[in-house]
A = this chain, B = another copy of it.
Amino acid sequence: MFSGDDAAVLALPPAGRLLLAIDLVVEGVHFDLALGSLADAGWKAISVNASDIAAMGGRPLHVVAGVSAPEDTDLDALADGMVEACAAHGIALVGGDLSGGDRLVVSAAITGTCDGRDPVLRSGAGVDDVIWVSGPLGAAAAGLHLLQSHHGATGAESEGEQRLIGAYRRPLARVEEGRAAARAGATAMIDISDGLSKDLDHIATQSGVGLRLGAVPVAGGATLEQALGGGEDYELVFTAPEGSPVLETFEAAGLPPPVRIGVCSADASERSVEGRRLEISGWEHTFRG
């Protein structure tokens, strides 16, 4: 698959800046092989990285992957999931490193480009900016809950349940949504990996604004608690000044409409949802005690 050299040689787009991120997924922390396959783990290692690029308003380009795996690991199955996720996101898998280890860890680093546009940071939200989310939340948390209550998939899941499980096992980075948000004038953006309240809190803290949320869109089959605190949806949450052409830009790109969920307030300590205090909770990313 790879050139076999010590490093991959990348041809870069002409724009002079590159995005670079790394994420690792750890068995027992980010995935449980009783609840998903090795291919799902490989998929997730790629898509969480692609989501980091999407959250900057960028387009993913290249991935290198490092795998530490016990001897009896089916590396082909793991690689299949990685290759499928790269194909789904238009990413070139250009190199890797393989090592032994007594627990499976998949690390991947990714490059991306904003095609000459400024990347969208977490720190740029302004007072009175509108807060948008790219889609309904909580599907992955609901899917995980289903899997955990039956110690895996039973094969008897309804279509709706399968969709929730798929959202958990095979998340798709919202690359086109992130680019549309950037074009529409997004001032800050983050992907929802740990839960809406926790990730949005990063934007508020780094931007020095408060959060005043209204109704939040909940995925069919999920609870409000899962929508607010559940991780791994990989929807994007972003801010943009009132009047920015957010809906128009998404529509022109053929994307489902994002949902307006609140505003950034001048009181930097405010964290509220529908008039109540917003609890900043989120996934601890662990399957063990």
Contact = CB atoms under 8 A, between A and B. Distances in A.
Interface of A: 3-12, 14, 16-26, 28-30, 51-53, 55-56, 58, 62, 64-68, 94-97, 99-103, 105, 107-112, 119, 121-123, 190-191, 202, 206, 285-286, 288
Contacts of A12: 12, 16-18
A10 B17 contact: yes
B285 A26 contact: no
B105 A30 contact: no
Given A68-B24, A103-B101, A105-B68, A19 B29 contact: no
A95 B6 contact: no
Contacts of A8: 19-21
A102 B104 CA distance: 11
Stoichiometry, as copies per complex, reads 2
Given A11-B17, A24-B67, A101-B105, 11 more contacts: A6-B51, A7-B53, A7-B112, A8-B20, A10-B19, A20-B109, A22-B64, A24-B107, A29-B100, A99-B285, A103-B103
A174 to B, nearest CB: 12
A110 B22 CA distance: 10
B6 A109 contact: no
Contacts of A65: 22
7 contacts: A22-B65, A22-B95, A23-B66, A24-B67, A68-B105, A99-B285, A101-B105
A109 to B, nearest CB: 3
A7 to B, nearest CB: 4
Contacts of A5: 55-56, 119, 121-123
Contacts of A51: 6
A6 B21 contact: yes
A179 to B, nearest CB: 14
A217 B154 CA distance: 62
A95 B10 contact: no
A283 to B, nearest CB: 12
Nearest to A16: B12
Nearest to A288: B102
A120 B269 CA distance: 54
B52 A6 contact: yes
Nearest to A29: B100
B10 A191 contact: no
A29 B101 contact: yes
A103 B102 contact: yes
B22 A97 contact: yes
A4 B105 contact: no
